[in-house]
Chains A and B, each alone.
Chain A
Amino acid sequence: MLLEIKDLHASIEGKEILKGINLSVNEGEIHAIMGPNGSGKSTLAQVLAGREEYKVTKGEVFFKGKNLLDLAPEDRAREGIFLAFQYPVEIPGVSNTNMLKTAVNEIRKYRGEEEYDAMEFLQMIKSKMKLVELEQALLSRAVNEGYSGGEKKRNEIFQMAVLEPKLAILDETDSGLDIDALRIVANGVNMLKSPDNATIVVTHYQRLLNYIVPDFVHVLYKGRIVKSGGKELALELEEKGYDFIKDDSGVFV
């Protein structure tokens, strides 16, 4: 098993957001986590990536058998977790290329692999750029600074392609994208899919799942997964709206 979440509780500023999440993800699987606004989807993504502002108050998370909650954010990334941010952060003065080169080499160092030199690195990222149809010019620009919404999201997927994570968590990567950008993003994710890695797609809309087909769909509501199923669950949600969840599982209302 790649990721195992057991009874995870997390809070921010004293307010409990996650109230007992249980989830198992195996290699080769795509999981979609859906749910209405404020249900805790992004919190789950951030907690897995190691955001310090969130306090885990109860529960356990194992990643490749290791206690994930013991690891610093950078070590989680080095172990193979990648978070595509809902709101990618602008970092003036730091070029995309430099950030990625540093990241790749820090990860390689951690894994005991030899660092890339400038040539090797450039060759590697060139092939990845094609994957998300990223313009060369974006590489030398400061990270996310002045990017359009679509460029920011494509840049996240580009970084994911470069870092080759074992587990990618896409936090509402589809929000605000036009259909072309959505296809590019989904295409990137599908091409990177392998029997060795897994993806958690956090989304508010079923639309993305027309392009990235999940093996499992989970509905998060008020900090708990209240329903799990196959890809047909997403369609049901689309049709009936989130209200049907409330009726179906009155305890959580």
Chain B
Amino acid sequence: MIQKNEINEWYVSIFDDFERNLNGESKSPIHQLRKKAINDFSQLNFPTNKDEEWRFTNISPLLKHKFNLAINAPYVDKEEVDRFRFNGMQCSFMVFVNGFFSEELSNINSIKDKITIKSISTAIKENNIQIQKHFNKYVDSSAQIFTALSTAYIMDGAFIYVPENIIIEEPIHILFLSSSKEDKILSHPRNLVITEKNSQLLIIEHYAGLDNSTYFTNAVTEISVGENAVVHHTKIQEESKSSFHIARMETVQGRNSCFTSNMISLGGEITRNDFNTRFNSTGGESELNGLFLIDNSQLFDAHTLIDHASPNCNSHELYRGILDGKSRGVFNGKVIVRRDAQKTNAFQENNNIILSDEALVDTKPQLEIFADDVKCSHGATVGQLDNEALFYLKSRGIGEEKSRDILIHAFASDVVRRIKIDKIKDHIENILTEKFNN
């Protein structure tokens, strides 16, 4: 077995090769950031179960592999990509294959005039002012090892800048496809989304596997929601069952802003999501919802943090898990209400259904309240399908399988119905039906 520090060294050792292939970029400010990040990375250790934030998530299976940086993207044709589109949904579309932006598979023409939307590598090369202002500002490469790794090897991702008063009603579908051939590959999708005052945006961050190969996706998304701006975010993860997916989303919210995020995941071998949002000013609204469906020996870990750093903000969080086989689920939801954050409303709930005898969930809701005039609640449940309800449905002539399917759909629907786009809802419903109807 490979030792952990050996893996650390491995990811440091491939930096030289990476640097050589950058031709010409090595003097740019972004590359200075990369160099600092690889240095930070080399100082950090991969977490173990002894770290409180990783208590229930053992990543040693991830550290058994020496993943290589993808050198180029495998050829993917349009029909292949169409499999991952949401049945005729009108949208702008960005496609990345193994981390590389594919211009010919993407279509962003309809919104190009209104907003800035391009691959982040291009924005970095152009030294875009917003990159200077926001990039890597909401994450901490010096403390978060996977973020350090992401920053060190930053290649591509979506860069979206929405100026003041611009409303984009058509969703932007950002698709990240992955597949390993001879080498097991690692990609670092890196997204930056900036919305200015009074703007509105709908984005779908979609991660999918082209096959069942073993690969590692280490994604980082930074989102800044401007004053009175609205951002609806959906993340869908339907990757290879032997893939590894580590993701961080950091959102900062301006005055009277609204941010909603709905995360739907079918997991990989190990999936870890750190979703954090912070109210930087008063009057904000935030909704974080998630649904994960896992089986066999999959591990899914959702870590969320809602930071009520300002008064008069509302947050609502609902995470649900459906677990089968020997799978393990983790929910760790922290809500911090800081001293000045009076009149905070924070609601958090986590419910899990376990379909087998061997699946396991660790759920840890945490409220840290330092203000005294707030309304906060949280709750967590772990249970099985309701036998009374099951019998009731069967007594109406509905078969065992179908009855279970109906109850699972109903359990999931509390999260699914919060997604704003019908075509995506249909997609999720189909996933549910396919998963539980065999």
Residues in A lying within 8 Å of B, measured CB to CB: 49-52, 72-74, 76-78, 82-83, 85, 88-94, 98-100, 102-104, 106-107, 110, 142-143, 159, 163
Contacts and interface: CB of A to CB of B under 8 A. Distances in A.
27 contacts: A49-B395, A73-B394, A73-B395, A74-B394, A74-B395, A74-B403, A77-B396, A83-B395, A85-B392, A88-B392, A91-B392, A91-B407, A91-B410, A92-B410, A93-B410, A93-B413, A94-B410, A99-B393, A99-B398, A102-B398, A102-B406, A103-B393, A103-B396, A103-B397, A103-B398, A104-B397, A106-B398
B410 A163 contact: no
A78 B397 contact: yes
7 closest Cβ pairs, A-B complex? A93-B410, A77-B397, A103-B396, A89-B392, A73-B394, A107-B397, A74-B394
Given A91-B407, A93-B410, A72 B392 contact: no
B394 A72 contact: yes
Given A73-B394, A74-B399, A94-B410, 9 more contacts: A72-B394, A74-B395, A89-B386, A89-B391, A91-B392, A93-B410, A94-B407, A103-B396, A106-B402
A106 B399 contact: yes
Interface of B is mostly: helix
Interface of B: 386, 388-389, 391-400, 402-403, 406-407, 409-411, 413-414
A89 B388 contact: yes
Given A50-B395, A93-B413, A94-B407, A74 B400 contact: yes
Q: Which of A90, A98, A106 has the most CB of B within 10 A?
A: A106
A159 B398 CA distance: 13
B396 A163 contact: yes
Contacts of A93: 409-411, 413-414
Which of A82, A89, A104 has the largest count of B CB atoms less than 10 A from its CB?
A: A89
- Among A76, A93, A103, A107, the one with the most B-chain Cβ atoms within 10 Å of its Cβ is A93
A110 B397 contact: yes
B414 A91 contact: no
A159 B396 contact: yes
Nearest to B410: A93
A166 to B, nearest CB: 12
B392 A106 contact: no
B179 to A, nearest CB: 36
A135 to B, nearest CB: 21
B409 to A, nearest CB: 7
A89 B399 contact: no
A32 B172 CA distance: 64
A100 B406 CA distance: 12
Contacts of B397: 74, 77-78, 103-104, 106-107, 110, 163
Given A74-B400, A106-B397, A89 B414 contact: no
Nearest to B393: A99
B44 to A, nearest CB: 43
Contacts of A103: 393, 396-398
A51 B393 contact: no
Contacts of A143: 392
B392 A74 contact: no
Contacts of A110: 397
B393 A72 contact: no
B144 to A, nearest CB: 37
A229 B403 CA distance: 40
Nearest to B396: A103
B400 A94 contact: no
A92 B406 CA distance: 11
A163 B394 CA distance: 13
Contacts of B386: 89, 91
A157 B391 CA distance: 18
Tell which of B386, B403, B409 has the most Cβ of chain A within 10 Å. Answer: B403
Contacts of A89: 386, 388-389, 391-392
A91 B389 contact: yes
A6 B160 CA distance: 75
Contacts of B394: 50, 72-74, 77
Contact of B396 (A90, A99, A142): A99
A73 B402 contact: no
B162 to A, nearest CB: 35
Contacts of A78: 397
A142 B386 CA distance: 15
A203 to B, nearest CB: 19
A130 to B, nearest CB: 21
Contacts of A88: 392
Contact of A51 (B391, B396, B399): B391
Among B389, B402, B413: residue with most chain A CB under 10 A? B389
Nearest to B409: A93
Nearest to B416: A93
Contacts of B389: 89-91
Nearest to A144: B392
A82 B397 CA distance: 9
A72 B407 CA distance: 19
Nearest to A79: B397
A44 B147 CA distance: 63
A138 to B, nearest CB: 16
A113 to B, nearest CB: 13
Contacts of A98: 406
Contact of B391 (A73, A90, A107, A163): A73
B186 to A, nearest CB: 39
A142 B410 CA distance: 10
Given A72-B394, A93-B414, A99 B399 contact: no
A56 to B, nearest CB: 16
Nearest to B414: A93
A171 B411 CA distance: 28
Nearest to B405: A102
Contacts of A99: 393, 396, 398, 406
Nearest to A46: B391
Contacts of A82: 395
